[in-house]
Amino acid sequence: MVEKQIAGKPGYGTYLLVWAALVVFTIAAATSGRFITEGRLDSLPLVIAFVKTCLVAAIFMNLKYERGIVRASALFALGIILILGLLTFSDYGYR
């Protein structure tokens, strides 16, 4: 760890690890998405995108370390978007 965590916030080392994971996920999505042209794995890049979003929101946006009303506001915002996305995709999936 480059620096100790302060008041529950992540240290620079945590950010570096998350960035490395995001890079790996991006390369995995870029290489898989171009070659998988049919079947259920077609949506693999979107699954990877969702995992990347969770990492960015939890660590870079500090949601994992927020408490109380800030976390509630953030989860409310992201939850509504998630519900909209799920409704759209469930409709899209049955077409």
Partner 1 sequence: MITGGSRINGMRMDGIEAARENLTAKIGMWLFILTELFLFVVLFIVFLSYRSLYGEEFHRASMGLNGALATANTLILLTSSFSVAVSVAAVKRDNRGLAVAAVGATIGLALLFLVNKYMEWSEKIAHGIFPGSDGMAGLDDGTRIFYNLYYVMTGLHAVHVIAGIVLLAVMAVLILKGRVCGAKHAAHENTGLYWHMVDIVWIYLFSFFYLVS
Q: Which residue has the tokens 């915002």?
A: 77
Residue 53 Cβ vs partner 1, minimum distance, rounded to whole Å: 5
Distance CA 86, CA 51 (A): 15
- From 8, 40, 64, 85, residue interacting with partner 1 (rule: CB under 8 A): 85
The answer to whether 73 contacts partner 1 (rule: CB under 8 A) is yes
Q: Which residue has the tokens 């690890």?
A: 17
- Looking at residues 13 to 32 of the shown chain, list those that interact with partner 1 (rule: CB under 8 A): 15-16, 18-19, 22-23, 26-27, 29-30, 32
Residue 94 Cβ vs partner 1, minimum distance, rounded to whole Å: 10
Distance CA 14, CA 55 (A): 11
Phi-psi region of 68 (alpha: psi -120 to 50; beta: other; left: phi over 0): left
Residue 75 Cβ vs partner 1, minimum distance, rounded to whole Å: 9
